[in-house]
Structure 1
Amino acid sequence: MQFSAIIVAVACATGAVANLHFKAWCVSGCLSDADPKNVGATKSACNAYKNRHTCDQWWDVCPGCVIETKDGNNKASQCHSSSQHIGGDEWQAYCIKFGATDGAAN
């Protein structure tokens, strides 16, 4: 009985960290290749996530979150965390708060 409780606890703990990302961006409209990124919301969400200190979980802080661009193209802006601090659900909430329709990450 104790063994099965341990397995359940480990499975739950593993699921809690499975949705962490290195890069994230906000989108408006659909997730197509036709430039759906919402750069303004991405920058605001990244700054908010960087300043976030909500608890003691890995995704509750992102001291290294920075905006990066690809080849100087601001339309390719994304929030980057070299330590994989970006939580998908938290990121999505920030994107929506700052006017995007959704958040995306990888």
Structure 2
Amino acid sequence: MMGRQKVRQFSRSEFGKCLYDLMLSRDIVTARELADRMQEAGKNTTDRVIRQYWSGTSRPSIAFMKNLAEVLELSRNEKARLAMSVYYDDEWREL
């Protein structure tokens, strides 16, 4: 008889989904990689904080958003999409 495998479940907030899409577009896969890039740029962010933003347990600060935009070199449209994702649920993606 096979043992039960633990399945790690988590859900991402709309912001987390958007952030992860932007990360992937820049070949960044993990929160640790993003935190490392931000720290290299002199921005004090930990992978733990990024994971909290992904899950929606914390909302990103304006300073984090500005730092993220600078580090990832976000376009104006990407900044707008990311900012909108902080305040809206999944349904706005359908529009």
The two structures have a TM-score, normalised by structure 2, of: 0.31
Q: Give 1 or 2: higher strand fraction.
A: 1
Q: Give 1 or 2: higher helix fraction.
A: 2
Q: Find the structure with the greater CA-based Rg.
A: 1
